[in-house]
Amino acid sequence: MRGVGQLALRSTDPLRVAEFYEAAFGFRRLAGDDAGTDLELGGFELSFRRGDSATRDGIQIGFKVETASEVDAWAQELGRRGFALAAPPSGDRWEGTRSFRIADPDGRQVAVFYDYPA
């Protein structure tokens, strides 16, 4: 097995959620209509299927970056573009990770993080 290649979640509004991931993180839309939307970024497919309620309890989507300063840069850029941060970047080498979170339109937690080398 090479890794995880696809994640499919329920959404009350797949097109709106797709627009969020396109605008915030640069996902590319593969297909989409009222019933569902498929996005892709770096070989990973993120799909949203229409449901009466969104899949969000216990779900967090995390995007790993190459450096701790990249976490700060993403937070600053997303904030500048009007995305509301759940909390500012936190964590350091002592804690082992640096990250921040925002919520997507369905209320799922989305993290941008960096893990310091051990």
Ranges of each domain in the chain: 1-55, 59-118
- pLDDT in the model for residue 78: 96
In the chain, which stretches have pLDDT less than 50? none
Nearest to 10 by CA among 56, 45, 44, 41: 56
**Model pLDDT, residue 70:** 96
Partners of residue 41 on adjacent β-strands: 44
Question: Tokens at residue 66, please?
Answer: 């190459």
- The domain 59-118 having CATH identifier 1.20.120.10: the answer here is no
CATH class of 1-55: alpha beta
38, β-bridge pairs: 31, 47
**E strand or H helix at 73:** helix 68-80
